[in-house]
Amino acid sequence: MSATPRELGYRWPAEWEPQRATWLSWPHNADDWPGKFQGIEWVFCEMIRWLCEVQRVGLIVASEAAGQQALHALGLVGTRLAQVELLVAPTDRSWTRDYSPEWLVRPASAGQPAQLGAVKWQFNGWARYPNHELDEAAGERLARARSEQVWLPTRSGPGSARFVLEGGAIDGDGQGTLLTTSDCLLGTVHPRNPELDQAGIERVLRDYLAVDKVIFLPAGVAGDDTSGHVDDLGRFVAPGRVLLARESDVHDDNYLPLERAREQLLGERDARGRRLEVIALPMPAPRFHAGERLPASYANFLIANELVLVPTFNDPKDRHVLGLLSELFPGRRVVGIHCLDLVWGLGSVHCSTHQEPALPG
């Protein structure tokens, strides 16, 4: 049996640590945004334009021709194209967060240079959608293109089924604490790893992400078709500090689940024994499409080098949220990305992106 990342001294960096690049997949599946697809590539252009000001951007495209078309569109909005690198890999969808690898870093030691490793979980379409094979293959291709060592975790050892997990289901503080939800990792409606109990799931996360404490919040937000991804619910913004969505309307479907999550977190300690500071993040007004609740949430923000991209929804709370995040990230520019069209596809900024850490110097 090969050694795990924990055994080899790798660690899972927090999102606010230095990054080499942010990865996105150029949008192409019009079915994900019924009636809204025409404007989606311009939302991606806006995200990429801002990201290229602070770091490289990796862009997954279906073909070389598709890549050139994407570069043309990006050039029209003034993107620094020298910062964009293309990876040709067909995909089913553009929710890059969920089928990309989790990158790990190992510091230089004993004459050995620092190394980048990748944990590639199996992606199965959120245990819900049958067309996911291209996404799964693209994620592994990305892992092998960028990483010196790649792990494909299984559920219970060699020969067993692959461990299923999406990037949006987990959030970390870079110091051994992982945040997730029971609905997503332990739920029975759309189960990922049905033969594993909580202890078994924690074992895999501890071995492959080198974490010491896993906090299971009860549930995600209303309208989330991923069965409770934590990146719409709560996010670490610093060691010991969690920004948690909070609903003020007692009649809203999110009110009780978010209050329960808040009560739980206030009683938790992180991997280093610190009590967590829980900061309230307002929820935008509910958004619907054809009677279906959309997972509009400000928690789906992305942290990059010197930059934070925040989904906005033409909501009076937009300005307050941008100000709050500016206070929490004083060394970064906080930029709103208009996501009313993007969330039509049941995701927004964080779902569309995945950070690749920089190797420690």
Domain that holds residue 126: 5-357
What pLDDT score was predicted for residue 86? Answer: 98
Check residue 290 and give left, alpha or beta (phi > 0: left; psi -120 to 50: alpha).
Answer: left
Provide the token pair at 312.
């906005």
Residue 252 and residue 286 in contact, taking contact as beta carbons nearer than 8 Å: yes
Provide the token pair at 17.
């640590």
Q: Which of 45, 52, 184, 351 is catalytic?
A: 351
Angle at 139 between CA 302 and CA 189, to 5 degrees: 80
Ranges of the chain with pLDDT below 50 = none
What HEC string does 28-96 produce? CCHHHCCCCHHHHHHHHHHHHHHHCCCCEEEEEECCHHHHHHHHHHHHHCCCCHHHEEEEECCCCCCCH
Q: Please give the torsion angle defined by the CA atoms of residues 227, 230, 234 and 239, in that order, rounded to the nearest 10 degrees.
A: 160
What pLDDT score was predicted for residue 157? Answer: 75
Q: How far apart are CA 264 and CA 287, in angstroms?
A: 27
Residue 308 and residue 333 in contact, taking contact as beta carbons nearer than 8 Å: yes
What pLDDT score was predicted for residue 112? Answer: 87
What pLDDT score was predicted for residue 1? Answer: 53
- Structural domain count of the chain: 1
Query: Pick from 231, 210, 12, 196: which is nearest to 104 by CA?
Result: 12
Residue in this structure with the two tokens 């978010």, named with its chain if needed: 258
CATH code assigned at 107: 3.75.10.10
Q: Please give the torsion angle defined by the CA atoms of residues 187, 193, 195 and 199, in that order, rounded to the nearest 10 degrees.
A: -80
Tell me if residue 351 is catalytic: yes
- Tens of pLDDT, residues 151-186: 999 998 777 899 999 999 999 999 999 999 999 999
- Tens of pLDDT, residues 324-345: 999 999 999 999 999 999 999 9
